[in-house]
Structure 1
Amino acid sequence: MDTVRRLIGERPVVIFSKSSCCMSHSVKALICNFGANPTVIEVDKLPKGQQEQVETALLQLGCNPSVPAVFIGQQFIGGAAQVISLNVQNKLNELLLKARAIFV
C-alpha cells in the first residue's frame, strides 16, 4: 500500500495497467494523446508477491476492477469508463492541466 501511495503522490499521472488489457491500452493511448507522459505500472509484469500487494492496495483504494486504475493529481479518477466519460465531457484536459501533466 505504501508503494502505491508513494507513486501516486510523486507523479502527476499514474496508470495501473495490465499489458494484456485492451481497456488499459485505450486509457494509456487517450492520456498520451493529450501530450501527457503517465507513469504506467504494468501490474502483470511485477514479481508475483508484489503483484498481489499492488492489486490488494488498489482494491482498498476503491479501484474495482483493479485495472485500469487512473490517478491524476494524486486523485483516483477511476477506470476506463470514468476516464472516457471525462474526455467526452471535455474535463480530462482540465484535470491534466491542473495536475501539471500537460502545459498547453
Structure 2
Amino acid sequence: MQQAIPYEPSLFPVRAGGGPPRSRRRRALLLNPSVVAGGEQQRPARRGEDAEEEEEEEAEQEELAAGVRESTRRAVAESAVVVFGKRGCCMSHVVNRLLQGHGANPAVREFGDEEEAAVVGELETISGGGRGVVQFPAVFVGGKLFGGLDRVMTAHITGELVPALKDAGALWL
C-alpha cells in the first residue's frame, strides 16, 4: 500500500525574497497583529503615505515581472523542451511525465499567481502572438510554442511527438 507524502511548500522554488513582494505596511501588519486589531499602536495614515506605499509596491511588482520575463526568455532559449505551468498543477505533471516517458528531459518552470501575468505576457511575446492566448501548461519545443496538454496528447497519439522532439534535439535516438 502506498503512503501519501505530506505537502511542504519548501519543495517548490521560491523567490530569493521569500515569497510575494509586500509593502512595508503589509509587513508591519503581518508582524504586529495589534495594529490590525485596533490596538494603541494604530495611527492614522499620514498624507501621501498611501501613495508612497503604492509606488513601492508597483516598483516591487515591476522588478518581479522583469525578473520573470528574463528567466522565461532564457529558459525557452536554452532548453530543447520547456514546460510552463502553475505551481502544483496536475496537467503540468501529466505533460512532464509523458515527455519523460519518451526519453526527453524537459525543463519545468512552475510559477505562482503573482507571476502569472508576467509569464503569460512574455510567452505570448516569444510565441509571436499568432496562435492565440497562451494556456497552461504551455510546452515549448525547440524554442517554439508547441501547445498545451491537448496538443501534446494529440501529437503523441498521431506519432508526431517523437519526430518533433528529435528535430529539437531533445531525443538522441
With normalisation by structure 1, the TM-score equals 0.82
Q: Report the counterpart of residue 80 of structure 2 in structure 1.
A: 12
Instruction: Give me the whole-angstrom Cα distance separating, in 2, the residues matched to 1:20 and 1:6.
Output: 22
Q: Report the counterpart of residue 52 of structure 1 in structure 2.
A: 117
Q: Does 1:27 align with 2:92?
A: no
Q: Does 1:91 align with 2:91?
A: no
Q: Report the counterpart of residue 71 of structure 1 in structure 2.
A: 140
Q: Report the counterpart of residue 109 of structure 2 in structure 1.
A: 41
Instruction: Give me the whole-angstrom Cα distance separating, in 2, the residues matched to 1:96 and 1:73.
Output: 8
For residue 86 of structure 1, report the CA deviation from its aligned partner: 0.5
Count residues in correspondence: 101
Instruction: Give me the whole-angstrom Cα distance separating, in 2, the residues matched to 1:75 and 1:24.
Output: 18
Q: Contact (CA 8 Å) 2:85, 2:92: kept in 1 or not?
A: yes
Higher mean alpha-carbon deviation, 27-36 vs 61-70, is at 61-70
Q: Contact (CA 8 Å) 1:19, 1:25: kept in 2 or not?
A: no
Instruction: Give me the whole-angstrom Cα distance separating, in 1, the residues matched to 2:89 and 2:74.
Output: 24
Determine helix, strand or coil for the equivalent of 1:70: strand
When the two chains are superposed, the root-mean-square deviation of aligned CA atoms in Å is 2.0
- Whichever of the two has the greater Rg, that structure is 2
Instruction: Give me the whole-angstrom Cα distance separating, in 2, the residues matched to 1:84 and 1:94.
Output: 14
With normalisation by structure 2, the TM-score equals 0.52
Identity of aligned residues (%): 35
Question: Any gaps of 5 or more consecutive residues in structure 2?
Answer: 1-68
Instruction: Give me the whole-angstrom Cα distance separating, in 2, the residues matched to 1:38 and 1:3.
Output: 16
Instruction: Give me the whole-angstrom Cα distance separating, in 2, the residues matched to 1:100 and 1:59.
Output: 23
Tell me which of the two structures has the higher relative contact order, counting C-alpha pairs closer than 8 angstroms and 6 or more residues apart.
Answer: 1
Q: Contact (CA 8 Å) 1:27, 1:83: kept in 2 or not?
A: yes
Greater per-residue strand proportion: 1
Q: Contact (CA 8 Å) 2:138, 2:145: kept in 1 or not?
A: yes
